[in-house]
Structure 1
Amino acid sequence: MPRGCIFIVDDDQAVRESTARLLHRADYSTQAYDSGDSFLAASLPNDISCMLLDIRMPGTDGLGVLRIMEARGNMPPVVVITGHGDIPLAVEAMRLGASDFLEKPYAPERLFEMIEKAAATRLGKREARTVDPEAQAVLKRLSWRQRQVLAGILCGHPNKIIAYELGLSIRTIEAYRAQLLVRLQLRGTAEVVKFALAAGLDASEFGQTKDGIQDDGGDEQFI
């Protein structure tokens, strides 16, 4: 028996076909669409296990699909597929209700992990994304520099832009990013962004002054 039906929405035929073959080998059934518009025009079931949605497509793009599905009130679990440098789009997708995002290229094991996690959280109508008190408490314990770097990541800035805006070296920013992964026990940019959203971090905080933000003074060895 199939483990569930995965909907693939991607304008790249090669990607659709290779993803479908990969999922079939893992005992998933699939249904593929070559655009956001063709997906939205289809008669869709109510029990979609998970949807893999490309963020950049002609016509209605991934964000447009999410906005329309949110308005319809039938948002399934969605994993947004992004390219390098699309972090701001991925952040917006998660604010619109996407469960997760995955950057190309990705390992098959990572794709399966995200699908299983997204499918496991399907509770019918999705609840609005709210601030997680535990994540918020962890955020408050970060130093000012850590929080600034985290806000820069949430903005989708590369290390060189974060370094320039904060007046630090690129190596220093790389050290802070590595430190954040260890301190927050996270793997990669996607999980860092998810934590920042769950904690209620405002991206506009990037570049703000130190006033009002706790600084434990424990991380200045990188400066």
Structure 2
Amino acid sequence: MNDRIVHIVDDEAPVRASLAFLLTSAGFAVRTHDGGPSFLAGLIDPAQACLVTDLRMPEMSGVELLEALTQRGLYVPAIVITGHGDVPMAVAAMKAGAFDFIEKPFEDDVLIEAILRAGALADSRGEPAPAAAEIRQKMALLTAREQEILSGIVAGLPNKTIAYDLQISPRTVEVHRANIMSKMQAKSLPELVRMTLNVNVAQV
């Protein structure tokens, strides 16, 4: 990871400056960009890049930026950050190739650790951890109702919609969701979505 350059993409100059100061202080080589197009135009060595991008930007959203990289056949480990996070956007970011999804405000260490993990995964040539077989074993522990709720989560549905579809209360969905996170040993929503997508459970 030490050889990677962290590219910060955000349309707000104070945010770029704050993140650049944080990551430079943590020992990262950093470059900043005011939007997706400028990042794409200046991307010389994707193999040595790591991306930290805002989700909501006027010219090109973080998801659209990730999709543009995919269309060009480029893989850059990416962390998406936002102050307006919700489940549908988290799922969209993960499906577009984001390694992680972080909601503002966040602790400095959360971003730094996410970048380190993303770089380590890319350096290992993208080998997923845990393996798909292990994920399937964990999914086998889910009840039928929990599997229904997991499918709704990965489809990007909010709790209220899942509750309405299954004719249960939103609070019951929250309890099942907590049980799912525990059984899957997922520490965050992005991790849960990534694990599920890795075994092609989401048919969307």
TM-score (norm 2): 0.85
Q: Alignment partner of 2:98: what SS?
A: coil
Partner of residue 7, structure 2? 7
The separation in 1 between residues aligned to 2:156 and 2:71, in whole angstroms, is 26
Between 113-122 and 140-149, report the one with greater CA deviation: 140-149
Partner of residue 142, structure 2? 142
Deviation at 1:49, TM superposition (A): 4.2
Between 53-62 and 21-30, report the one with greater CA deviation: 53-62
* Map 1:18-97 → 2, pairs under 5 A: 18-97=18-97
- Asked if 2 retains the 8 angstrom alpha-carbon contact of 1:149 and 1:177, the reply is yes
Partner of residue 170, structure 2? 170
Q: Which has the larger radius of gyration?
A: 1
Point out where structure 1 has 5 or more consecutive residues left out of the alignment: 205-223
Between 168-177 and 2-11, report the one with greater CA deviation: 2-11
TM-score (norm 1): 0.78
- Asked if 2 retains the 8 angstrom alpha-carbon contact of 1:54 and 1:80, the reply is yes
Between 140-149 and 109-118, report the one with greater CA deviation: 140-149
The separation in 1 between residues aligned to 2:194 and 2:43, in whole angstroms, is 31
- Asked if 2 retains the 8 angstrom alpha-carbon contact of 1:73 and 1:125, the reply is no
Q: Alignment partner of 1:91: what SS?
A: helix
The separation in 2 between residues aligned to 1:44 and 1:126, in whole angstroms, is 21
Point out where structure 2 has 5 or more consecutive residues left out of the alignment: none
Deviation at 1:87, TM superposition (A): 3.0
The separation in 1 between residues aligned to 2:196 and 2:82, in whole angstroms, is 18
- Asked if 2 retains the 8 angstrom alpha-carbon contact of 1:3 and 1:27, the reply is no
Deviation at 1:146, TM superposition (A): 0.6
Partner of residue 220, structure 1? none
Cα 1:56/1:84, change in 2 over 3 Å? closer
Give the count of matched residue pairs: 201
The separation in 2 between residues aligned to 1:38 and 1:125, in whole angstroms, is 26
Cα 1:124/1:172, change in 2 over 3 Å? closer
Cα 1:85/1:104, change in 2 over 3 Å? same
Partner of residue 159, structure 2? 159
Partner of residue 118, structure 2? 118
- Asked if 2 retains the 8 angstrom alpha-carbon contact of 1:24 and 1:30, the reply is yes
- Asked if 1 retains the 8 angstrom alpha-carbon contact of 2:3 and 2:48, the reply is no
Q: Alignment partner of 1:173: what SS?
A: helix
Q: CA RMSD in A?
A: 2.5
Query: More helix by proportion, 1 or 2?
Result: 2
Q: After the TM superposition, which segments of 4 or more aligned residues of structure 1 sit over 6 Å from their partners?
A: none
Percent identity of equivalent pairs: 38
